Amino acid sequence: MKEKYDPFVIIPLYAVFYLYAVTNIPEVIYPPQGTDPYIFELLAGVIKSKGLMLKDFPSYFFTPFYAYFVYLIRAVSPTVTLHFKLLIAVQIVIFIFSIFYFKKLIGQLFSAPVARIGFYLYALYPPILFFSVLPVKTIVEISLFTFTLYNFIRYLDDHKRIPLILSGLFMGILIHFRGAVVCLLPILLIVLYTRHNIASVLLFLISATICIVPFTARNLHIAHEQVLLSSVGGIHFYIGNNPHATGIYNTVQGIEPSTFGHYYDARRIAMHETKTYLTDQQVSSYWKKKGLDFIKTKPLSALLLYVKKSLLLINYVEIANNYNFKLFTREYTPFKFLRIPYNFTALFIAGILGFIYGKFRYRIFFILCTASLALTTLTIFITNRYRMPLAIFLLIGTCGLIDGLRKHEFRVSSEVVIVGIILFSLSFFPAFKHPRSFLTSSYIKFEKSKDSALKRKELGAEQFEKDYYSGKLKYVSGFTNQHLFR
Q: What is the pLDDT of residue 437?
A: 52
Q: What is the pLDDT of residue 439?
A: 61
For helices 384-406 and 363-377, angle between their N-to-C axes, nearest 10 degrees? 160
Last residue within a domain, chosen from 313, 336, 371: 313
What is the C-alpha separation between 241 and 343, in angstroms, rounded? 28
Q: Is the same domain home to 392 and 283?
A: no
158 φ, ψ (degrees, to nearest 5): -100, -15
Q: Is the same domain home to 22 and 102?
A: yes
Determine, yes or no, domain membership for 457: no
- Cα 19 to chain center, whole Å? 23
Cα 236-299-263 angle, rounded to 5 deg: 15
Q: Tell me whether residue 341 is exposed, middle or buried, using C-beta atoms within 10 angstroms of its C-beta: 0 to 12, 13 to 18, 19 or more.
A: exposed
| Residue 301 domain boundaries | 232-313
Is 325 strand, coil or helix? helix
pTM > 0.75: yes or no: yes
Contacts of 99 (CB under 8 A, 6+ apart): 10, 119, 122, 123
Q: What is the DSSP letter of 262?
A: I
Q: Is the same domain home to 146 and 35?
A: yes
Q: Is the same domain home to 173 and 275?
A: no
Report how far apart the first and last C-alpha atoms of the chain are (Å, whole number).
57
| Residues 456, 457, 461, 464, Cα dihedral to 10° | -30
What is the C-alpha separation between 139 and 91, in angstroms, rounded? 7
Last residue within a domain, chosen from 259, 287, 313: 313
Q: Around Cβ 429, how many Cβ atoms within 10 Å? A: 14
Q: Is the same domain home to 297 and 420?
A: no
Determine, yes or no, domain membership for 73: yes
User: What is the helix (H) or strand (E) element at residue 184, kind and residue range?
Assistant: none
Contacts of 234 (CB under 8 A, 6+ apart): 266, 283, 284, 285, 286, 287, 288, 291
Q: What is the pLDDT along the chain (486 residues), one digit of tens a residue?
A: 678 888 889 999 999 999 999 999 989 999 988 999 999 999 999 999 999 999 989 999 999 999 999 999 999 999 999 999 999 999 999 999 999 999 999 999 999 999 999 999 999 999 999 999 999 999 999 999 999 999 999 999 999 999 999 999 999 999 999 998 999 999 999 999 998 889 999 999 999 999 999 999 999 999 999 999 999 999 999 999 999 999 999 899 999 999 999 999 999 999 999 999 999 999 999 999 999 999 999 999 999 999 999 999 999 989 988 899 988 998 899 999 999 889 999 999 999 999 999 989 999 999 999 999 999 999 999 999 999 999 999 999 999 999 999 988 888 889 999 999 999 999 988 766 555 555 666 667 767 777 777 777 777 878 888 888 999 999 999 999 888 886
What is the C-alpha separation between 369 and 190, in angstroms, rounded? 12
What is the C-alpha separation between 103 and 7, in angstroms, rounded? 12
| Residues 297, 301, 303, 308, Cα dihedral to 10° | -150
Cα 411-417-423 angle, rounded to 5 deg: 125
Q: Around Cβ 275, how many Cβ atoms within 10 Å? A: 6
Determine, yes or no, domain membership for 461: no
What is the C-alpha separation between 157 and 304, in angstroms, rounded? 43
Is 87 strand, coil or helix? helix
Q: What is the DSSP letter of 379?
A: T
Nearest Cα residue to 118 out of 365, 377, 360, 364: 360
Q: Tell me whether residue 273 is exposed, middle or buried, using C-beta atoms within 10 angstroms of its C-beta: 0 to 12, 13 to 18, 19 or more.
A: exposed
Nearest Cα residue to 193 out of 163, 235, 151, 164: 164
Determine, yes or no, domain membership for 29: yes
- With beta carbons less than 8 A apart as the criterion, state whether 360 and 334 touch: no
Q: Is the same domain home to 241 and 160?
A: no
Last residue within a domain, chosen from 313, 331, 356: 313
Q: Is the same domain home to 206 and 296?
A: no
Q: Is the same domain home to 111 and 180?
A: yes
Q: Is the same domain home to 111 and 190?
A: yes
Q: Is the same domain home to 209 and 245?
A: no
Q: Is the same domain home to 153 and 189?
A: yes
What is the C-alpha separation between 410 and 114, in angstroms, rounded? 15
Determine, yes or no, domain membership for 463: no
Q: Is the same domain home to 278 and 363?
A: no
Determine, yes or no, domain membership for 467: no
Overall number of domains in the chain: 2
Contacts of 138 (CB under 8 A, 6+ apart): 131, 385, 388
Q: What is the DSSP letter of 252?
A: P
Using CA atoms, how far residue 321 sits from 88, 134, 287, in Å, is 18, 12, 22
Determine, yes or no, domain membership for 261: yes
Cα 279-283-286 angle, rounded to 5 deg: 135
